[in-house]
Structure 1
């Protein structure tokens, strides 16, 4: 590849230091790049044939190098070469032989190709004292100047209340790659996700939001490329402003931006919010042995947390080799500029922050008062959208479930673990389960948060699918090429006595019932339920519980192998939740007596014998049956006009034991009779038994859940 000193415009005007990135104004493009320690910065423009033109930026203002190029407009591919000292022992890794992606690039074009030129150090030795001279430009992606306009007229974000939200975690590509009703050219793309066939699935199921696995532009790690694999999940971000180019059906010259916006608008029109899973804790450049693609070559010590006393290494709270240093104003600005961009320009409705504890570390400990929280909370744009934390990282003290401040909701890992333990038959009692069923007040009440601070989930992208959780007890990750070292080994699942697929009808039936039990527990719990895409269809990953590098049919949803009964079951439960305010309370229960009820309470717990749970029952680790009574006349909420909300009352019985049990349905004042609405021993949850039963003893099958609507005589 040849370079020339002059390019599409041989003239570079001074331009402006703000905003950062490359911005077209109708007649030219302003570029601005922050780097605190550089001695010079070259802007590199690329012709369609790949010819490179280098332009030395002459202006620097407050550590921002900038210039304006008249005549350069949308579609222009570009990158940077940054000059400065190369001394890894002091944290400096400048190397102008490496073409660097603009951290503020709005679109990215080109693939990452594994080549020795990707690495900034000489001779393949990461501790080398001299920079590598090989030119990386032929092997790395470039930024693209874009036109921001889009016909947003008519877009109406749903703004679904947290208490009404049901989240569907889904992968953009995997959702439609095998969907027969999505045109082949659109499968696996933003346009595929917005196709009526998939949108109808979401609407019919009843979910209110999609939580998209990472769509910020990402690349695959060198160790995966060496094994012939790629990063499928996308937790390896390179560009925080650019939608991932490979998910575009329309090309990569900026068309991916328009396609993403069209997807958001289509989902909004269907009443579906769009939440992005974002990875601001680390980047794709890895540790000291990783490639130099952007931040590392622009200002290594300015963007990353370097190891104390050993600046040639990185502090790694993420398990991915590096940690972005959000203690620094410029990194915080990058994060906030990115978040605001996705809200204001791309119209997304919220964010789920991957390994959020890593962002909240001021020095070593996770700090509730860190600058990260401060800037989020005071921002007039970002503070108004849905904010979800994955409240842990891999560093010491990183498990922070329940400890994020008000305004935040959290992936409730304790909910997942408790529900899995209960339905796997572990003797853990029912005390912790009661907290999880009712919004986890032990975690979220003390600081003024509400039950919807708890995002309840049992499965996610990371781990077994729900079907696999009750088919396998041991992971089967050989295809990942890591000799079984990857993935969780303690999955809290149960295989019904047979490891892997079985032809035994009894095994098949009990496994299917366990899936229904978990879905019922999840969707009848107070808080915000999150389903993993495909769990409602009976999806399997054949025992792989860490399919992050499996971009193939193992990971993609199989629309030709749908469990129709399970689909019906899940959609019925979501509809029941939507129709019943008592199942999605906005305030925590307090056990108060409901006025005029004759002695019932807003929340009560029953033992199998019919009496309310005693102190001894609460601490009995062998107890595997519990009844949860929710009085719809005692909801602590008012409608938009201030009127009290009143609903039906429910008795939900959960029995995780291996044998049938006799439970006593309580009589007046709790109920005069009960209507069976959900019984998990039946494939669709619809019981063929008599619709209404009287209070008193009744036999409950092993491993089952009942949802009974309370009947009261006039």
Structure 2
């Protein structure tokens, strides 16, 4: 299959997208402001669902988006509407953040062109690829999960223009604080481009955590105004200080939500393929967000692998934490620890030695899979969290459980008779109260 996204060549930029169901695909080219569509060119079929076109006269920084046409039958997972501008799933940069608007979710022929509402994908030449250095973090170290924006937004020592951004994590005052705590690696809550859920704007609220992605490779401009170079430089500064960088990535769903959600990218290109559906055409909701990525589809599998490779090669990250990771291992809806995507990650020459951490549950059938992932995946251990909290609270009869947790949770991870545990012990995370609040308050 043809390589996807925007690829530079001496003759121009080659644009490519994949859809097994669209009858026609176009690339829309915009001016430097992203406000005006200056050309709309049809991509040519390349076989196996690939569509591509080489466009001459374009240079680094060109702004673009895709459009697709075909049947519009949401009850069958078909949402084609050429009035919907679509973000390139392989975009590595967008020109502004996503903002929810009801017109993004309008039915075909009931809404205007969404180009004025959509960020534009930016065709960027990648910097020289980094050597794949061994991961800095090793099991047994201390991981600090942090939200990039809130961690530095009010920090008095960080320059005001940097506060709340990835670059702030490289500030000497921040690094000194992390070193003082004995942090081995920071685990950055999602930094890729996301969108607010539709119920938040009317309430005057925003999704602060970022677990509602649209484009998997493009960083959120609010967190990385300096683009990929900002992440790259920060990872290097942390590494120089002896601190690894783990990215929390969300491959289980997208911000296109349920059938009432917006059409932003994958839905408009080929929702039948990119998302899992019930036999009657309804979207599967193993994530609680309205949709579930079809990680057992070969094209989705390659997109996930390409995303992981991108962040290793272009930014030098040390590893990944996978949100609702059973979704990545579902084959025809059932979790399989030997699922093709999980095996592909574990067997990839560039990824196999990375720190790979699974959140081992989702809300689908058989969704609780603690202890059932295979090496080299580590797993968030909620049983450690619960037993330590019970002991801390003073519950009777908890000493034995505490000893088991401190010794690596052999009742969970010794099933394969391995010499070492795969547990990632934690007491507090973003799903609940902070550690400081946990020991200060009796209840929420």
> Residue 406 of structure 1 contacts residue 449 of structure 1 at CA under 8 Å; is this kept in 2?
no
**Range 178-187 or range 18-27, more displaced:** 18-27
Q: CA, structure 1 residues 174+26, in 2 after alignment: closer, same or farther (shift >3 Å)?
A: farther
The secondary structure found in structure 2 opposite 1:134 is: coil
Q: Deviation at 1:452?
A: 4.6
- Show the 5 A alignment for 1:121-160: 121=107, 131-150=109-128, 159-160=136-137
1:459 aligned residue: 428
Q: Quote how far apart the aligned CAs of 1:38 are.
A: 0.6
Cα distance per residue 1:186-238 (max 9 Å; x no partner): 11111111111111111222211110000121111111122111111110111
How many angstroms apart in 1 are the aligned matches of 2:216 and 2:195? 12
The aligned residue for residue 429 of structure 1 is 398
Which whole-Å CA distance do the structure 2 matches of 1:396 and 1:462 have between them? 21
Residue 67 of structure 1 pairs with residue 53 of structure 2: yes
Of residues 150, 158, 169, the one that matches 1:182 is 158
Residues 360/58 of structure 1: CA separation in 2 closer, same or farther (3 Å cut)? closer
Alignment partner, residue 294 of structure 1: 265
Aligned equivalents of 2:97 and 2:177: distance in 1? 32
Q: Which residue of 2 aligns with 1:380?
A: 349
Out of 182, 187, 199, the residue aligned to residue 223 of structure 1 is 199
Q: How many pairs align?
A: 442
Q: How does 1:190-205 map to 2 (within 5 A)?
A: 190-205=166-181
Q: Distance in 2 between matches of 1:51 and 1:448?
A: 62
Q: Which runs of 5+ in 1 are unaligned?
A: 1-16, 123-130, 251-255, 476-714
Q: Which residue of 1 aligns with 2:279?
A: 308
SS in 1 for 2:211: coil
TM, length-normalised to structure 1:
0.60
How far apart in 2 are the matches of 1:51 and 1:464?
Answer: 45
1:260 shift after superposition? 1.2
Q: 1:438, CA displacement in angstroms?
A: 0.7
Q: Distance in 2 between matches of 1:334 and 1:112?
A: 21
Higher Rg of the two aligned structures = 1
Structure 2 CA distance for aligned equivalents of residues 336 and 152 of structure 1? 17
Tell me, in whole angstroms, the C-alpha distance in 2 between the residues paired with 1:275 and 1:404. 19
Secondary structure of the residue that 1:262 maps to in structure 2? helix
Which residue in the other structure is 1:9 paired with?
A: none
Change (3 A) 1:150 1:178: farther
2:321 corresponding residue in structure 1: 352
Maintained 8 Å contact 1:158/1:271: no
Secondary structure of 1:168's counterpart equals strand
Task: Name the CA distance, whole Å, in 2 between partners of 1:316 and 1:413.
Answer: 23
Maintained 8 Å contact 2:284/2:291? yes
- Is 1:22 matched up with 2:6? yes
TM-score normalized by the length of structure 2: 0.95
User: For 1:409, which of 366, 374, 378 is the aligned residue?
Assistant: 378
CA–CA distance in 1 between the matches of 2:392 and 2:119? 47
Task: Tell me if the contact between 2:97 and 2:221 (Cα under 8 Å) persists in the aligned partners.
Answer: no
Q: Distance in 2 between matches of 1:158 and 1:200?
A: 21
Once the two structures are overlaid, the 10-residue window that deviates more, 111-120 or 370-379, is 111-120
Report 1:250-265 matches (<5 A): 250=226, 256-265=227-236
Note the C-alpha offset of 1:35: 0.5
Assess if the C-alpha contact under 8 Å between 1:176 and 1:182 holds in 2: yes
**Cα distance change on mapping 1:450 and 1:136 into 2, 3 Å:** farther
The 1:200/1:27 distance shift into structure 2, 3 A limit, reads farther
Please tell me whether the aligned partners of residues 97 and 132 of structure 1 are also in contact (alpha carbons under 8 angstroms): no
Partner of 2:28: 44
113 and 158 in structure 1: CA distance in 2 versus 1, 3 angstrom threshold? closer
Q: How far is the alpha carbon of 1:341 from its aligned partner?
A: 1.1
> Which residue is 2:98 aligned to?
112
**Residue in 1 that maps onto 2:148:** 172
Q: State how far apart, in whole Å, the 1-side matches of 2:119 and 2:346 are.
A: 34
Give CA deviations for 1:129-181 in whole Å, capped at 9, x if unaligned.
xx53421111111210112115958x966533323x21111111112111111
Q: 2: CA distance between counterparts of 1:232 and 1:157?
A: 32
Tell me, what secondary structure is at the counterpart of 1:241?
coil
8 Å contact kept, 2:137–2:318? no
| 3-state secondary structure, aligned to 1:96 | coil
Which range moved further: 63-72 or 464-473? 464-473
For residues 235 and 244 of structure 1, the distance between their equivalents in structure 2, rounded to whole angstroms, comes to: 12
CA contact 1:162–1:452 (8 Å) conserved in 2: no
Name the SS for the 1:109 alignment partner.
coil
Taking a change above 3 Å as real, the CA distance of residues 203 and 395 of structure 1, as seen in their structure-2 partners, is: same
Distance of 1:450 and 1:135 partners within structure 2: 59
1:77 positional shift: 1.0
Q: Is the contact made by 1:156 and 1:268 (CA closer than 8 Å) also made in structure 2?
A: no
Stretch deviating more after TM superposition (402-411 or 286-295): 402-411
CA distance, structure 1, for counterparts of residue 383 and residue 359 of structure 2: 12
- Deviation digits for residues 500-549 of structure 1, max 9, x if unmatched? xxxxxxxxxxxxxxxxxxxxxxxxxxxxxxxxxxxxxxxxxxxxxxxxxx
Write the distance in 2 (CA, Å) between the matches of 1:44 and 1:51.
Answer: 10
| Shift, 1:473, TM fit | 3.6
2-side partners of 1:208 and 1:280: how far apart?
25
- Structure 2 residue 361 is matched with structure 1 residue 361: no
Root mean square deviation, CA, Å: 1.8
Q: Is the 8 A contact 1:119 1:132 kept in 2?
A: no
Q: Distance in 2 between matches of 1:151 and 1:81?
A: 31
Q: Is residue 409–residue 454 contact of structure 1 (8 Å, CA) maintained in 2?
A: yes
Higher RCO (C-alpha under 8 Å, 6+ residues apart):
2
Does the aligned pair in 2 maintain the 1:157–1:268 contact within 8 Å? no
CA distance in 2 between partners of 1:119 and 1:393 (Å)? 26
How has the CA–CA distance of structure 1 residues 385 and 74 changed in structure 2, closer, same or farther, with 3 Å as cutoff? Answer: same
8 Å Cα contact 1:158-1:268 kept in structure 2? no
**Conserved 8 A contact 2:105-2:262:** yes
Residue pair 1:280, 1:354 contacting (<8 A) in 2 also: yes
